[in-house]
Amino acid sequence: MLRACAYTHAVHAPPNLPDDVENLKQLILEQRTLLLSRQIEIDKLKVQLARLRRLHFGRSSEQLAHSIAQLELSLEELETSETMLSYPARSRAPAESSQVPVRRALPKHLPREEIVHTPSCICAQCGGELRRLGEEVSEILERVPAQFKVVRHVRVKLSCARCQSIVQAPASARPIERGLPGPGLLAYVLISKYAYHLPLYRQSQIYAREGVDLDRSTLADWVGAASALPSPSIG
């Protein structure tokens, strides 16, 4: 059922376009034929993927889950290669108002950062003073990478001037007693491992690239300790 899609890795930038019209037409026809075959393959994979998902619903099967993952990967590679083939031609095509793609509006709940691009106030043609006519607004979707931070809990000690007793706020509770991770970091490690299937050794490598040294054994200790958190206390 699964077919190898290794040929998608061999997609390269198109060669220089021929000068004569006949060869150019032939090249365009070949590109269209290739894109059509890719689209047919994509449609077939989508049908197979939908069928596997229906089979997988309501029951557990590692083999089905693996097949679904392989199909998802093949479909991703085909769609990527299709864009790689068609994008150079689309980028060279003249912009027309009728060809502007209709995109879904970006979510309103996302924070907005506004960058205002203001040209010179003096006309480059005649040197006259420019006045505001209006503005055009476009939006792009950006991502701010997650980052580590250190939360310092400062417990102030107060002393009574009359009886010399010392008063201090109680220590804040931690998910793991005397443990290093805060609740947000611990939740991130668990979700990455069990929801996104990201092994602890790979998480350790990712964190090291961000400048935080967390050994795999340390992460494993956190995961083991966190397994006891949902358990009710017996007393």
Give tens-digit pLDDT for 40-86: 877 777 777 777 766 665 555 666 666 766 777 777 677 666 666 66
**What's the structural domain count of the chain?**
2
* Domain-ending residue, one of 38, 67, 92: 92
Q: Is residue 140 part of a domain?
A: no
pLDDT of residue 33: 78
- 67 near 52, Cβ under 8 Å? yes
3-state SS class at 129: strand
Q: What is the mean pLDDT of the chain?
A: 77
Q: Is residue 151 part of a domain?
A: no
Q: Is residue 113 part of a domain?
A: no
pLDDT of residue 48: 76
φ, ψ (nearest 5 deg) of residue 167:
-120, 135
Answer with the residue of higher pLDDT: 7 or 115: 115
pLDDT of residue 213: 94
Q: Is residue 199 part of a domain?
A: yes
| Domain with 81 in it | 1-6+28-92
Q: Is residue 124 part of a domain?
A: no
* Domain-ending residue, one of 92, 113, 142: 92
Q: Per residue in 146-183, pLDDT tens?
A: 889 999 999 999 998 888 889 888 888 888 888 899 99
Q: In sequence order, what are the residues at sequence separation of 6 or more whose Cβ sits closer than 8 angstroms to the Cβ of residue 192? A: 198, 203
Confidence of residue 22 (pLDDT cuts 50, 70, 90): confident
* Domain-ending residue, one of 92, 109, 140: 92
Q: How far apart are CA 146 and CA 152, in angstroms?
A: 19
Q: Is residue 18 part of a domain?
A: no
Q: In sequence order, what are the residues at sequence separation of 6 or more whose Cβ sits closer than 8 angstroms to the Cβ of residue 80? A: 8
Q: Is residue 84 part of a domain?
A: yes
Q: Is residue 133 part of a domain?
A: no
